[in-house]
Amino acid sequence: DDITHDVAKIEHPALVTHGDSDLGMPISLGRSLSESLANCRSFVEINGAAHAANFTHPDIMKAPLWEFLHAVINKDPALHEI
């Protein structure tokens, strides 16, 4: 399903990660997604990763993910209770 028209409706903070060796989805689509999200905090390109870089390259994914979570949680005090 093409949901590109709904992307602009997403208001929550987002982090987009994309492997530069993903054969099923070109990295240009990941960049486009990050640019379309109103509150995208960062686009992270994972060198040498295919699809699901969080499984194949967890050590590389860890730092940007923690930075994103830390920033979001510190900005919204309600999340401190989670």
Q: Over the stretch 12-51, which tens digit does the pLDDT of each residue have?
A: 999 999 999 999 999 999 999 999 999 999 999 999 999 9
Enclosing H/E stretch for 19: strand 14-19
Position 74 scores a pLDDT of 83
Is pLDDT above 90 for 73?
A: no
Measure the CA–CA gap between 51 and 3, rounded to whole angstroms: 19
Tell me the C-alpha to C-alpha distance, in Å, between residue 58 and each of 46, 61, 72: 10, 5, 20
Residue 29's identity, in one-letter code, is L
What share of the chain has pLDDT > 70, as a percent? 91
